[in-house]
């Protein structure tokens, strides 16, 4: 399995500000996924980050609110922009296993609270 490091692990932010979450993987991966887990809820895919092209966003998520960077095959960032309390969630980075793309592994997540 891949080793996935997410930073920060948690943060408390004021509404109207932005937070950038980093995801570092110990191996090169073609695709990286960003998920959101609202309090007590399931996981929802925000977008797929592809190296060398723009991220692909799911319905209900837009680039202006959740800009994503993917500068290389081991790193990605997700920014939560102009935050409101409704953005309080766990944000998770996920990557497919090497040689078994269907198997997804998750980082430990970023617990975001917006006041």
Partner 1 sequence: GENVEQHPSTLSVQEGDSAVIKCTYSDSASNYFPWYKQELGKGPQLIIDIRSNVGEKKDQRIAVTLNKTAKHFSLHITETQPEDSAVYFCAANRDSGYALNFGKGTSLLVTP
What residues make contact with partner 1 under the rule CB under 8 A? 1, 4, 31, 33, 41-45, 48, 58-59, 92, 96, 101-109, 111
Diameter of the chain measured on Cα atoms: 42
Question: Which lies closer to partner 1 via its Cβ, residue 77 or residue 110?
Answer: 110
Reduced to 3 states (helix: H, G, I; strand: E, B; else coil), residue 53 is coil
Minimum CB distance to partner 1 smaller for 58 or for 65:
58
Q: How far is it, in rounded angstroms, from Cα 98 to Cα 2? A: 8
**Strand stretches in 8-99, DSSP E:** 10-13, 19-25, 31-37, 43-50, 56-57, 68-72, 75-80, 89-97
* CB 77, min distance to partner 1, A: 17
- In angstroms, the CA 107 to CA 17 distance is 24
Least distance in Å: CB of 15 to partner 1?
24
Q: Which is nearer to partner 1, 14 or 39 (CB)?
A: 39
Considering the complex, what minimum distance in angstroms separates the CB of residue 66 from partner 1? Answer: 16
Which C-beta is closer to partner 1: that of 14 or that of 40? 40
């Amino acid at each position: 399995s891949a080793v996935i490091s997410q930073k920060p692990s948690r943060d408390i932010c004021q509404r109207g500000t932005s937070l950038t979450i980093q995801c570092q993987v110990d191996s090169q991966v073609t695709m990286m996924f960003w998920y959101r887990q609202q309090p007590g809820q399931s996981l929802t895919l925000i977008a797929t980050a592809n190296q060398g092209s723009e991220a692909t966003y799911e319905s209900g998520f837009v680039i202006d609110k959740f800009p994503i960077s993917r500068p290389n095959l081991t790193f990605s960032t997700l920014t939560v922009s102009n935050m409101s309390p409704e953005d309080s969630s766990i944000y998770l980075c996920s990557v497919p296993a090497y040689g078994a793309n269907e198997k997804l592994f998750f980082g430990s997540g970023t617990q975001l609270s917006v006041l």
